[in-house]
Every structure is written in structure tokens, then in C-alpha cells.
Amino acid sequence: MERVWRLILDEAHEPHMNMAIDEAIMLCQKNGTCLPTLRIYRWLYPCISIGRFQNLDEVLMWGSDLPIVKRPTGGGAVFHNEFGFTYSIVYQEKSSVLPRGVLDSYRQIHIGILNGLKNLGIDAVLYTSERNGRRSLPPKVCFTTPAEFDITCDNKKIAGAAQRRMFEVVLHQGEVSLSLDVWPDWSYNKLKYAILKGLSKQLSAKFVECCLSEKEKILAEELECYLRR
């Protein structure tokens, strides 16, 4: 049965605002008044996002001069630039739009992403420890080593994500990072709509384009101020 989802095709924001918006959507979901939400967005300039449990001092030791922002989810450091496709999914776990549990929900979402990439002719696969004969630990730099149900192409990780659960609401933040030689073949919009089609089919979702609510906008502005401290 097809379920209605809210689709937010957002504009580019600076790093702290992008994270604040995702967290605001999550917090506003706790009373159950919002539809499950897929947000697709870009970054105003290149930056690094790090997992909420990562040590900022350790990342600063890498010597990068890129701005750094902490995500509300876990995982390793991710470099964001014009060749990345960033999205978030927020839903109430009891809604049953996705299976319960981290790995099962992660797998379902990434199968949708994978199918979208395959429709573009990208020879990608779902990484599993069973397929590869080993189980990897979460890396400090997200795209160096694939974890369970990440997406790989030519043995390189091209899609990963991290989740957080709070108030029985799930926030899933993901990134698809394609190599420079792939981008000339497809526009960003072509990639976006291929992934939307793949997710729609896999999740039995009908995406209806919407905007952030006024409550979400106000909360995001408050959270951005907090994140900048």
C-alpha cells in the first residue's frame, strides 16, 4: 500500500543551518503531526560534517581549512562538496513506513538508493559482510571503508548514512558521493529524480513536495544559534 510522504527539495544552506533543519524536523515529529519526510539539500560551500560522538580536536589535527559542523547523528567524518548528494529521512518508528531497527531500516533505504543509481547505469552493489567475508568497524572518515549495507562501486564506498533515534522518531542522514568522472554523464537533477524514483518504489512512498512548516523554521533558527556556540 502506497503511503504519502512529505518531500522537501531544499535550497543550499550553510553547514550549521543544514544540521539545524534536520534536527528541527526530527523534534517536530515527536508529537506525530508530521508526515514521514524526505529532505534533499545541498551545501552553500564545501565543508566537513562529523558524527555527534566524534572528537573535534582529532578532526582539527588533519589540518583541513574547511569549516566543520557536528551532525545530530553518529558515524564518521564526511566531506561535502558540489559532487555530493545529501538527504535526510525523518519518520516515527511506530508508523511502519520502514522496518524497526537500525540495520533493517538502513538496508531498505539503501536498496532504494541503489536502484536509483542502477537506473542510471551505475554498477553499484550493496555491501554486506557476508558478501565480502569480513565485518568492518565504523570508520573515522566515513567514505574510507564501507560498513554493513553501504553502497559501493568498483570496490569503493559511494553511499553511506547514520541514524539517531529519539522520542521514537528516527533521523536518517545520508550522502551519495560520486567520482568526478561520473558527474559529466548526469546532471544533479537527473540523479535526484532517479534516486526519488528508486526510493518511491522501494518504500511504497508517494512523495508530495512541501515546504518546512513555520514551527520547523523557527526551531531550526534557534538550533543554528546553539550549534554555533
Sign of the C-alpha dihedral computed for residues 200, 204, 205 and 206 taken in this order: positive
Q: Which pLDDT does position 104 carry in this prediction? A: 96
Strands 156-166 vs 47-50: parallel, antiparallel or unpaired: unpaired
Give the amino acid at 143: F
Query: DSSP E strands: which ranges in the chain?
Result: 3-13, 37-43, 47-50, 68-70, 78-80, 84-92, 124-126, 151-153, 156-166, 169-177, 205-209
Q: Answer whether 0.75 is exceeded by the pTM.
A: yes
Q: Specify whether 142 is catalytic.
A: yes
pLDDT(143) > 70: no
Q: How far apart are CA 216 and CA 225, in angstroms?
A: 14
Q: Given this model, what pLDDT does residue 182 score?
A: 62
Q: What is the pLDDT of residue 185?
A: 73
**Domain 3-227: homologous superfamily in CATH:** Bira Bifunctional Protein; Domain 2 (3.30.930.10)
CA–CA separation, 200 and 33 (whole Å): 22
Q: What is the pLDDT of residue 80?
A: 94
Q: For Cα atoms 109, 18, 208, give the angle at the middle one, nearest 5 degrees.
A: 50
Q: Which of 28, 34, 47, 142 is catalytic?
A: 142
pLDDT over threshold 60, residue 141 = no
Place of cell 522537501: 8
Q: Find the distance separating the first CA and the last CA of the chain, reported in whole Å.
A: 45
For the segment 31-51, the average pLDDT, to the nearest whole number, is 92
**DSSP single-letter state for residue 7:** E
Res 109 pLDDT > 80 = yes
* The pLDDT of residue 34: 82
Domain ranges of the chain: 3-227
Block residue for cell numbers 528541527: 24
Write down the pLDDT at residue 2.
86
Render the burial of 90-102: b for 16+ CB within 10 Å, e for the rest.
bbbbeeebbeeeb
Q: What's the mean pLDDT in 132-154?
A: 71
Sign of CA dihedral 87, 51, 33, 107: positive
Q: If pLDDT is split at 50, 70 and 90, which confidence band does 38 have?
A: very high
Residue 183 confidence (pLDDT): 64
Decide if pLDDT at 133 tops 60.
no
Candidates 20, 22, 21, 26; CA nearest to 166 is: 26
Name the pLDDT band for 132 (thresholds 50, 70, 90). low
**Taking a C-beta distance cutoff of 8 angstroms, is the pair 97, 5 a contact?**
yes
Q: What is the pLDDT of residue 22?
A: 98
pLDDT band at residue 138 under the 50/70/90 scheme: low
Does 190 or 58 have the greater pLDDT score?
Answer: 190
* pLDDT at 74 (0 to 100): 93
